[in-house]
Structure 1
Amino acid sequence: MGIEQLSDEQLDTFESNYRKAKKTEGGKYSLSEILLEKLRRKPAVFGTRQVAAKIIELAQKSEDGLCTYGQIWSEFRPNTPWEGHKTLSVVASSLGRVVHYCVTNDLPILTTLVVQTGTRRLSHEAIQNIYHECRELGVSVGPDPEVFVRTQAELARHLALYNLPAAD
């Protein structure tokens, strides 16, 4: 039986068992495979590849090679104003899907180029979230979240739109 044939409850049980044991491998499917399958089943507000492509496009147009959460929102919902946490959670969910897309397709983590508008920097929390999520998905992240994210941002700046594979 392939992972796509497991029920949501079975996936939850696998994930729970891994977390209780504080392991990422050992069963028929790794924790990263379980997490990727669970995410694949959730409906996306914005297309994952489209968000990845938009990050590249916006970052390449900017002087500092970065783009903002607000820009992502405006590109996909140009006539809908930003509504604080509600809007942020939609964008954050989309960026989470982009992390999984990047890991699955062996790409640099493009979300390292998406920053806060006011500071034009990733928050400490965002750096930790990217690091933790990548580590859970089986990426070799090293011991330092800052170094990992900085390295990924540099690699992401060199990625071209034509290098993006189709999303699953």
Structure 2
Amino acid sequence: VERGIYTMRKSKINLLYGSGDVLDTHLNLDPFTSKETDVLIRADVKNLDGFVDDAEAQEIIALDVIDYIPLTEVNKVIKHWVSKLRHGGSLIMGGTDLFEVSKAFAQYRIDITRVNKLIHGEQSKPYLIKRTNFTVLGLSDYLSSLGLKLQKKRVNDFIMTVEATRP
């Protein structure tokens, strides 16, 4: 892959964290990929400055990223992503819904081993340890407080997805 492709700016960005679907229609950033391609680049998903200007992104997808961002950084990172959205641009975020996991555990629907994996992540490598927990309502409220308009919010098998747009 030629180095020039890395600086190409795209209006659709898909943020990955070692897993997830690579989208051919998006610039895909993953800090752990070992195979870079035209659409998949090894990069820090917390800082998009080298890939998209402020108020230029049509869409930013981060379906399995926020759980792994340290609590002390997560608000700053989400605000950074929001700053990259153009008016009418969408931010689609996902992660583990702490409320749904806790509720299922309290109702004896899942065991402690699964709870620990859902809330704390894999313990085999430091970067797979989950550092932040949200609920779908908490994340929705936070995005609203940043001026975004909620479009969708859902939880499926403990995994939440929230979509919001910049007015």
TM-score greater than 0.5 by the shorter chain: no
Higher strand fraction: Structure 1 or Structure 2?
2
Normalized per residue, which structure has more helix? 1
With normalisation by structure 2, the TM-score equals: 0.29
In the superposition, the TM-score normalised over structure 1's length comes to 0.29
Which has the bigger relative contact order, CA under 8 A and spacing at least 6?
Answer: 1
